Every structure is written in structure tokens, then in C-alpha cells.
Amino acid sequence: MELQCGSVSKHRLPSRLNFAEFRLFRYVGRPVCFWPAMQQYRRLFTIYRTAAKYRLGELLTDLPRAGWLRVLLALPVAGAASAEGHCRGERLRLALQELGPIFIKFGQLLSTRRDVVPVDIADELALLQDRVAPFPGSEALRLMEKALGQPLAQLFRQVSSEPLASASVAQVHTAELLDGSDVVIKVVRPGIDRIIADDVALLHTLARLVDARIPGGKRLRLREVVRDYEHVISDELNLLSEAANTSQLARNFRHSPLLYVPKVYWDFCRPNVLVMERIYGIPVSQVDELRACGINIRRLAETGVQIFFTQVFEHSFFHADMHPGNVFVSREHQENPQYIALDCAIIGSLSKADQQYLAKNLLAIFKQDYRRVAELHVESGWVPPDTPVHAFEATMRTVCEPIFQKPIGEISFGQLLLQLFRTAARFNMEVQPSLVLLQKTLLNVEGLGKQLYPELDLWQTALPFLEKWQQQRLSPLNNLKILGEKLPAWIEQAPEVPEMVWQALQKAGSDDRPLAALQARVAVLEARQRRWHNLVPWLAAALAALLLWLH
């Protein structure tokens, strides 16, 4: 029998347990099926046992309120002896690797934050970018052959059984097509979907707990954040989704020398297998090798910022997993460096409203116009409408002012975001789930910038781009183009206006509204219809002029 439990995927209960109607009520006040709940408790115990096994409590010495947790993690558990002889960074890496993809991705993010993570730990966590313990090559070859439905010898000249790289969700093997093209084959780890499902179910439970029991928990909107993350991680398990993202990113930059995206070989792509062009760039984290190759490091760092803002504001389609293991640099463009993007499984996108408000906020912050920042937060609904603008302005000034006129090496966006979040809590500012992935990507970009060129002035690099984007968005020509795109749909809908008026009359009559209100509504609709009919010839003429000018 199958039971559905909140956002948790369906679970089949063992037939020997006859409690299909049995329910446990958690103290968060929501009925939850017994069996999935037990699976989550088991996963919690696994996390605790792994943390205790690798003595991670020793990493909490600087947290004064974590004394009870340090004691708990110091208790002896099975396998703890195997952690002896490892340094603290190695123990943390092994623990995250053992716990699975979600924890590995957390370690990948930490590895780029050398401003907040000790160097020895960051160096070890960097191994999680592409050197996670692989699964057997023979198993990988079997999965490839099963997915492709043919013997590999009929499709490839050769396929390496030794992985080129191994990450949290999949590992990569080199191969050669029959036409001689060098490719890589990415194959999803077997059984990884079950581990991710358990972790996501646990995150849903923790989010409900925070929402119901922690003061101010609703403001965090963790349930929406976890829901969004569930969609992201589900797409990452489907390599056809990654292939589609890769193709789209390549189209977005097909006329740009800034970013190269490898070719996807669609004939060989399946949900758990992806075949794409092999590249021979330099990992962006190998700064010494980049310098030896003659790469202009300063220009490389500025190009990275430009690519990020282009993806966010021009394309609204940004690579959201930009840790160093996924970013390479071409050897062929020394003075004007070219990036190479890999692993497009996680892609972010913003609505036009969020895009515009974000750009306006960044412009206002860069120009130190804190009054405008406060007004934009109210206009966008990110803070309640009764928020005192002057008080919010003063708060933003206090947080942001110290960071200006500093190179990126002296600025921590992680600390800035944390301060902004703590301060905004006074004004009941809610977390915006649509921006969480962007914030995570921004932290990755900042980490890369710090490794490449700590003296980079982020403000001077980003401000001209944002100003140009704003000018283009507000230009008459751009608005005329938008008008031309929408005009056919408007013309098509024009004959339906009388029917819309009639439906409004019927609805108004069924609601028994006063006659005066009904007449006012009809007058408004008639006035709109007259303005529309008067505007159509002018719009058509403007569109014709635009088309003539463009040709």
C-alpha cells in the first residue's frame, strides 16, 4: 500500500506491518505517516553517527553555545577508530563524502570561502569538487551499456574504465567516438536517488519544524526554499535536463568570446548518461598554472564578473553551480581570457520583476543611495508596506557603508549577507526563495574572484555593466521592440473586448452590486476600448517603421 506524506515521495510499507491507517502526530501539528517518519529518524541517526565517527565536535570549539553538541559528538561510536590519524580537514571531507550529495555540495561551497574557512580545511574540501570517491569502473561501463542499449564497442572506439573525475551525483569517463572525436561520458551514481530522497524528506521536516516552532521562522520561508531545492536536485539527477541546459547556455554565448560551452552529443544522451565534447582547459583554481600559461589574471577576474551579470540580467539563465571543479580557462586566449563552463545541471532564473528590482537595488547600493534601496524593498514587497523608510535607510547605510572603496580581497559577501539578514529581521523582511540560488552563486563567484585576483574592484567592474543594462532597458528603441513583440497578441485580443465587457456586466449583476458601481465599471471598460481602437493605427505604424529601420 502506498501513502503520500506531505512533500515526501511515496513509500511502500512492508506487508508484514499492518498499520496502513496508523498515524503519528508530530508536535509540529501535522499528521505524518509512520514509516517515512522512521526513515527520517534513521537518517538523522546516520548523520549523527557519521559526525561522531569523524569527531567533528572538535571543529565546534569556537562556538560557545555548542558545548552540549560537542559532548554528544564525543561519545564513542562504531568505526571511530578508522578516523584516527586524519587531520581535521580530512575528517570533515570524509564525513561529508560519506553522507552524500547534499552534504558534498555544502562542502564544495565552503571550499571557495577561504575568507571564513581555515586554509587547511578549505584545501581538503576542494577535493570534493571533482575527486569524490568513485564507484567501480566496471559498474559504470555496465550502466552506460544498459542505458544506450548497445555494446559500447559499437558506439565508441574506446571507453576508459578509470574515471577522469568523480563528483557527488555522477562520475566522468573519457571516450572516443567512431569518428575520432574526443568525448567524456557522465554517468549517474547508482542508488544516489534514494539517498537524496531521504535527505530532502528530512529537510522538509526540519523546515516545517522551524516554521511552526522557531520565533520568526515563517519569515525564513524555509518550506519554499526546500521545495525549490527539491526541484533543483531532481533536475540534477536527470542528465537530459543537464544536456538541455548546456545547449541553452551555449546558444546564449554563441556570439560571445567570453564563455565556451562544450558540445552535447544528443544521440548518446539518456536520463542517466550524458556524452559531450572533451575540453583541455586549465582549472580556474590553478592560478600558478594560469600565470605560467600567460593568462591575464586581472582581465580573467573581470571577465568572470561580466559573465555572471550577463547571465543574470541579460539572459535570466545563470549557471548556479560555479565551484572551481566546474570552471576551466582556455589556453588559447591569454590577453582576453575565455572561460569554459561544465556541469550545467543546476541553472537559476529570475522573473522580470525580481530581475528589475535586483538590478535597481544593486545600482542604488553601488551609488550609496540608501533611501532608494529602502524604497525599493517596500515597493517590491520584500518588507511590509508599513516599514518606516527612514529607519530602514539608516540600517542599510550602517551595514553597507564600511564595504565601499575596498578591493574584493577585503570584502566578504558572506559576512555582508549575514549582517543584512540579521538587520533586516528587525523589519520582518522575508527570505526570497527565488533569490536563494542567486545568493549561493554569488558566494561562489566571490570565492573564485578572491582566489584569482584579490585586488579586483567589484564595484567598478559591475557598475558600468548595470548602468548599461538599465539604459538599454529604458531606451525608446528597446521599448518599441517590446511593443512590436506584443502588438500581434493585442490585435488578436481586440475583438474579444466586447465579450469581456458583457462578462463583466453579468458578473456585476450576479453580485447585486449597486447600479452606480456597475455603470462606472462599464464606463471604464468602454473608455479602454475606445483608447485601444484609437491606439491600434499608431502602434501598427510604429511597428512598420521599426521593421523598416531594422532592415
Q: Give the per-residue pLDDT at 349.
A: 85
| pLDDT 10s digits, 57-71 | 777 665 555 555 666
d(C-alpha 69, C-alpha 64), whole Å? 11
Q: Which residues are catalytic?
A: 321
Q: Give the per-residue pLDDT at 404.
A: 67
Which residues, given as ranges, of the chain have pLDDT below 70?
Answer: 1-40, 60-85, 109, 112-116, 129-130, 210, 213-221, 404-409, 411-425, 430-434, 458-459, 474-487, 489-494, 496-497, 501-502, 504-551
Q: What is the mean pLDDT of the chain?
A: 75
Q: Give the per-residue pLDDT at 147.
A: 95
Closest C-alpha to 301, from 439, 436, 450: 450
The 10 Å CB-count burial string (b at 16+, else e) for 15-51 is eeeeeeeeeeeeeeeeebbbbbbebbeebeeebebbb
DSSP 458-497: HHHHHHHHHHHHHHHHHSHHHHHHHHHHHHHHHHHHGGGH
Q: Give the per-residue pLDDT at 274.
A: 96
Closest C-alpha to 364, from 342, 387, 392: 392
Per the listing, cell 505604424 goes with 541
Closest C-alpha to 192, from 148, 246, 133: 133
- 499 burial via Cβ count (<10 Å: 0-12, 13-18, 19+): exposed
d(C-alpha 187, C-alpha 144), whole Å? 7
Percent of the chain at pLDDT exceeding 90: 22
CA 547 to chain centre: 38
Q: Give the per-residue pLDDT at 300.
A: 92
| pLDDT 10s digits, 379-409 | 877 778 888 888 888 888 887 777 766 665 5
Cell of 340: 569554459
Task: Write the CA distances from 106 to 25, 92, 121, integer angstroms.
Answer: 31, 11, 13
d(C-alpha 328, C-alpha 283), whole Å? 4
Q: Give the per-residue pLDDT at 234.
A: 79
Question: Taking the CB of residue 11, how many other CB atoms lie within 10 A of it?
Answer: 16
Report pTM. Answer: 0.69
Q: Is the dihedral of CA 282, 284, 288, 290 positive or negative?
A: positive
- 69 burial via Cβ count (<10 Å: 0-12, 13-18, 19+): middle
